[in-house]
Amino acid sequence: MAPLVRVRQGRLAVALAASALGVLTTLAVPVVVGRAIDQALPTPTDPIPTTGMAPFVVALVLLGIARAACGFVARDGLARVAFGLEFDLRALIYEHLSRLSFSFYDRVQTGQLVSRANSDVRSVQMYLAYAPALVVSTASFAVAVVLMVRIHLGLTVAAVAALPGVYALGVRLRKELFPLSWVVQAHLAEIATVVDENVTGTRVVKSFAGEGRQIALLERAARRLQWATVRQFDTRARLGPAMENLPRIGLALVLLYGGVLAIDGQVSIGDLVVFSSYVVLLQAPFRSLGFLLMLSQRASASAQRIYEVLDTEPEIVDAPDAIELVEPRGDVELRQVHFTYPGRDTPVLAGLDLRLFAGETVALVGRTGAGKSSVARLLTRFYDVDAGAVLIDGHDVRTVTLASLRRAVGVVVDEPFLFSDTLLANIAYGRPDASLDDVRRAAAAAGVDDFISALPRGYDTVVGERGYTLSGGQRQRIAIARTLLVDPAVLVLDDATSAVDAEREELIHDALRTLMAGRTTLVIAHRLSTIALADRVVLLDGGRAVADGPHAELLAREPRYAEVLSSLPDERVAVRR
Ligand SMILES: Nc1ncnc2c1ncn2[C@@H]1O[C@H](COP(=O)(O)OP(=O)(O)OP(=O)(O)O)[C@@H](O)[C@H]1O
Ligand SMILES: [Mg+2]
């Protein structure tokens, strides 16, 4: 964290100096009050004191003003440092997350990442910003002890006698509370997960009438939280009063022993006032010492979790000498590709050879789980091949920049994600500067312009979260329009028409033909009518291309092809025919 702190060291130093000065003014107040009392009390030599109180009043007012000013500068500075750190850390995490590869997102849970970016950042921030200030206020203890020893050593011992007890209690409290606070945090996260799943998965919950089960789940989690929270407060209630009253024992000792000393004339009444004030002032740093230790433990655990993310190297990055793919023709070749998902044993692709010439439309067919979508992910380099190569225009995809590769290859995935934004913004996502005319043309080619124009707010309609306010087919066509607007040289359509009803299909196919014109297209086909759009068909089985040719030819000579086709849900009739 040092570099993040270092860029703010000037501001931090000023804030710490101000807080040290503030502590000194706080310590000075009892001294002034003590002197004033000593001046005002009659003594045998001076039965009617003549010195006025004015200098003391002025001194106290000035000290008050100085304390307020120091407090402001210290708090303002510390807050700026703290929230600046928080801002930087969060930006750092987000920037890093946006560079991490798909394989990372396959592994981690969204909730985990969110909590790392929120509560973990907060606890590191608290430690970095407040620890120095707490150290300064603890240092004030030393100053106070020196001041007290100069007045009377024995009385100093009496004043600090109870402090080790305060510290020991603080340690005990922390030992008992720390695990409990973890448990509370964990249960809070658990409840958040249940609520989150309830809300995002509400369609599943309701359609299986699972509301009762979900409520029971939430209730169990809430009960666990309740138990932990009550335990936490019990502990506080047990140890808190002792913690508060121990310093009062110190105060009683000071008044008893100090009273005797004052009667003997060994210390003045004013000194007694100084001591009794310090006894109260001193216990605060002692308590905060415990707090500091707790903060540091929590912050180091949080920092570890944050660095787990920051230390994860993105696996897929631009090669140092990567070139830009400029105006690609759209020649695609997969050469002896072997691919296994990270953390899996069974290979998905084992020696796949696939060639798409520029401008050609090829249908990829295979049973479910055959690896069709995986081929699309390799073309855009969401993952890297284990062996073999993926080439665009003869360039290995690992030798070109990711940005230019992903501009050249457009994918309409099987489960398109829409942002909760306007339809215009969703379609223009890949080209935010596109004009409304361009967007409408793309939408028209994808067959959604009519639908969108008929909406009361047209292209300014905001779609619900993840596009839930649209039908599956509408979502897919908006995804097609989004890709069409970018005008990629190579297009991959994954299941792009599977959620479309038969009547709309003809319309979609017109749109698809427009979409395919002049570019290389790989359609991952789940219905015969989509296959009909292609120049030829490649059958994927066992991780390799086992057949390649026009549909009719494959149907005649390749029994495995007929078998896969007959397994497609709505094509049994067509195949038989
Ligand atoms: N992110 C992933 N991590 C690990 N394994 C995966 C991942 N994605 C897919 N797989 C596995 O890889 C295999 C191929 O998946 P793929 O999505 O390519 O199949 P598909 O041919 O597109 O199937 P479908 O026709 O059902 O869409 C499957 O066995 C699947 O379980
Ligand atoms: Mg798939």
Same domain as 549, residue 411:
yes
The pLDDT > 70 percentage for the chain reads 93
Structural domain contains residue 322: no
369 lines ligand 1 (CB under 6 A): yes
CATH of the domain at 355: 3.40.50.300
How many domains does the chain fold into? 3
Same domain as 190, residue 70:
no
Structure-derived torsion over alpha carbons of residues 540, 541, 546, 552, reported in degrees to the nearest 10 = -60
Burial state string for 312-327 with b = 16 or more CB within 10 A and e = fewer than 16: beeebeeeeebeebee
Cα–Cα distance for residue pair 347/385, rounded to 1 Å? 11
Nearest alpha carbon, ligand 1 atom 30: 369
Same domain as 227, residue 110:
no
Cα–Cα distance for residue pair 462/509, rounded to 1 Å? 27
Question: If we measure between CA atoms, which residue out of 493, 496, 486, 505 comes closest to residue 441?
Answer: 486
Structural domain contains residue 508: yes
Same domain as 224, residue 159:
yes
Same domain as 185, residue 165:
yes
378, 337 in Cβ contact below 8 A? yes
Same domain as 453, residue 308:
no
For residue 145, the enclosing domain spans: 1-150+294-315
* Sheet strands side by side (includes 395-396): 349-356, 332-339, 387-392, 395-396
Q: Which two tokens stand for residue 41?
A: 């009390």
Same domain as 358, residue 475:
yes
Same domain as 121, residue 159:
no
Question: If we measure between CA atoms, which residue out of 282, 284, 274, 277 comes closest to residue 161?
Answer: 282
Pairing of strands 387-392, 332-339: antiparallel
CATH of the domain at 308: 1.20.1560.10
57, 29 in Cβ contact below 8 A? no
Same domain as 145, residue 179:
no
Structure-derived torsion over alpha carbons of residues 208, 209, 212, 214, reported in degrees to the nearest 10 = 40
Cα–Cα distance for residue pair 391/353, rounded to 1 Å? 11
Structural domain contains residue 280: no
366 lines ligand 1 (CB under 6 A): yes
132, 97 in Cβ contact below 8 A? no
Band of residue 180 on the pLDDT scale cut at 50, 70, 90: confident
Instruction: Label residue 31 left, alpha or beta by phi (over 0 means left) and psi (-120 to 50 means alpha).
Output: alpha
User: What's the whole-number mean pLDDT along residues 145-166?
Assistant: 86
What would the pLDDT profile of 83-142 be if each residue is shown by its tens digit?
A: 898 899 889 988 898 888 888 888 877 767 777 778 888 888 888 877 887 788 777 778
Among 348, 413, 498, which is best to mutate for testing ligand 1, by the most ligand atoms less than 8 A from CB? 348
**pLDDT at residue 354 above 90?**
yes
- What average pLDDT does the structure give for the chain? 85
Q: Which whole-number Å values give the CA distances from 462 to 67, 149, 430, 466, 543, in the listed order?
A: 53, 72, 18, 11, 42
Same domain as 211, residue 141:
no
What would the pLDDT profile of 405-452 be if each residue is shown by its tens digit?
A: 999 999 888 778 888 889 999 999 989 999 999 999 889 888 888 889
Structural domain contains residue 320: no
Closest approach atom of ligand 1 to CA 343: 4
State pTM to two decimals.
0.74
Same domain as 456, residue 339:
yes
Distance 373 CA to ligand 2 centre (A): 4
The per-residue pLDDT for 209 is: 87
Same domain as 202, residue 177:
yes
221, 191 in Cβ contact below 8 A? yes
Structural domain contains residue 349: yes
